[in-house]
Structure 1
Amino acid sequence: MVRRTDPRSARDSLARIPLFAALLPDQIAALDAACSWRRVDAGAAIIDHQDDGIDVFFVVHGHVRVMIRQPGGQSVILRDIGDGEFFGELAAIDGQPRSAGIQAVTAATVARMPAAVFRGAIHAHPSVSDQVLALLAGQVRMLATRVTEFSTLNVRHRLYAELLRLSRPDPREPAHAIISPPPIQADLAARISSHREAVSRELAALTRAGLLDRRRGALVLLDPARLRQLVEEAYAGG
């Protein structure tokens, strides 16, 4: 469920969004006033793939997910978006239908900004323009990586690459990496365009090989350097 709230009574502000960090308080207040503010329940669809809307959404609190639904009904997860990030900028720039759908993973607070206001901020503030350009460049690089993985790697090595991408250094053991909270197998399958059974088999094989462990609240990559090497070898052999 998506619930509209009154922006004048909301304690949240776009001052929490790094994109606007260089703006003055009165400039941020003007942007706040131009937005509609919404509370979104976990699991709710915020925008649909191919929707005609062109507004931009800023995640003030919460966690949402970028997804594309394939013709057969299977969904592919492209990336996650958290506090301080935003989505919908492509449609705001080119006026075309949404390139992906967005679903709330947790309860979230989002600010919906009209496309014209967003474009005005880009034109008026070089710091905003530079960050949007950097974001778009990063998305192109990410999509190029994903296309290469899908066209070159099998399910096993796509899973290895995704586990590495989701992980961060383990504060308890520098040689390890952790994924916390641990993703469910269906979500991992959606990230690599596979199915849950294949992911389950590969995770079990990693555990038997001593490369993966399960800790309360986390998956632990016991030898991320070895996983990275296996992915590189798969590229070379492909």
Structure 2
Amino acid sequence: MYLERVDLFAGLNDTQVKTLKERSRIRSFAANTIVVNEGDEGSSLFVVQSGSLKAFLTDNSGREVTLSLLDPGDYFGELALLDDSPRSASVIAVTRSEVLQIPRTAFLGLIESDPTCMQTVVRNLVARIRLLTDNVRALALVDVFGRISRLFETMAVERDGITLIDRRLTQQDLANMVGASREMVNRILRDLVAGGYIEIEQQRIILCKKLPQSW
């Protein structure tokens, strides 16, 4: 299980982590299955064990904004451990996925038996909130090119000496992730390809050299 790698629980000892595992369960979801719906009652944290999921928001017109792409070791629904407010976003399984579901009751039981856990989790949660604040700042204050550049930087990995985004992403996927139109993303990608900054092969983006400071 990936529970030991979840930064929210960094600092918990082996016994505390074991207690959480024993009170949790594995759930499987087929591709294109909604795991949680925005507005639903929240009572669990989920840790991705396998597959790929997407957290997103939609408005009344059906327009979608992707908040994050979730891979093994990532987690979502952490606020449900601390309050009983409705879910703030929806999550869908992009591929067949397994998640570890940790009920709020399991977490609260751990806190009651060992109150020192609360300080650890709250400290880690604050770090998570700071990261989300940085993401919101980027959406509000950085132009579309800057948001794409930042996204590439955070998602890029090295594979056999090649820097790439190791995930198939359509232009609409990218648009949803940076809060822009597909047409604007298309124009930026075309210019980056023409300038030799990136190559696109089977919806995978290869970063050939450092992106320019501006578009």
TM-score, shorter chain, exceeding 0.5:
yes
Aligned counterpart in structure 1 of residue 51 of structure 2, from 45, 58, 62:
62
- Is 1:222 matched with 2:213? no
Task: Indicate if the aligned counterparts of 2:2 and 2:47 stay in contact, CA closer than 8 A.
Answer: no
Aligned amino acid, residue 133 of structure 1:
R
Unaligned residue ranges in structure 2 (runs of 5+): none
Q: Which residue of 1 aligns with 2:146?
A: 157
Shift in alpha-carbon separation, 1:219–1:127, aligned structure 2, 3 A? farther
Structure-2 separation of matches of 1:120 and 1:85? 23
Structure 2 counterparts to residues 32-181 of structure 1, below 5 A = 32-122=21-111, 124=114, 126=116, 130=120, 133-134=123-124, 136-169=125-158, 171-173=160-162, 177-181=163-167
Task: Indicate if the aligned counterparts of 1:54 and 1:97 stay in contact, CA closer than 8 A.
Answer: no
Structure-1 separation of matches of 2:118 and 2:205? 36
- Is 1:183 matched with 2:177? no
Task: Indicate if the aligned counterparts of 1:56 and 1:118 stay in contact, CA closer than 8 A.
Answer: no
Q: Choose between structure 1 and 2 for higher RCO, CA contacts under 8 A separated by at least 6 residues.
A: 2
Task: Indicate if the aligned counterparts of 1:122 and 1:128 stay in contact, CA closer than 8 A.
Answer: yes
Task: Indicate if the aligned counterparts of 2:52 and 2:72 stay in contact, CA closer than 8 A.
Answer: yes
Task: Indicate if the aligned counterparts of 1:122 and 1:129 stay in contact, CA closer than 8 A.
Answer: no
Structure-2 separation of matches of 1:107 and 1:186? 21
Deviation (angstroms), 1:162: 1.5
Unaligned residue ranges in structure 1 (runs of 5+): 1-14, 232-238
Shift in alpha-carbon separation, 1:36–1:67, aligned structure 2, 3 A? same
1:77-134 deviation line (CA, Å, top 9, x unaligned): 1112222332212022021111111111221112323212123335538568635632
User: RMSD over aligned Cα, in angstroms?
Assistant: 2.7
Aligned amino acid, residue 101 of structure 1:
S
1:11-65 deviation line (CA, Å, top 9, x unaligned): xxxx54214784249x73x544533432101111000012113222222222222
User: Number of aligned pairs?
Assistant: 209
- Is 1:209 matched with 2:195? yes
Structure-1 separation of matches of 2:118 and 2:69? 21
Q: TM-score, normalised by structure 1?
A: 0.75
Shift in alpha-carbon separation, 1:85–1:125, aligned structure 2, 3 A? farther
Task: Indicate if the aligned counterparts of 1:22 and 1:127 stay in contact, CA closer than 8 A.
Answer: no
1:119-173 deviation line (CA, Å, top 9, x unaligned): 3335538568635632x23432222222222222222222222122211245415
Task: Indicate if the aligned counterparts of 1:39 and 1:107 stay in contact, CA closer than 8 A.
Answer: yes
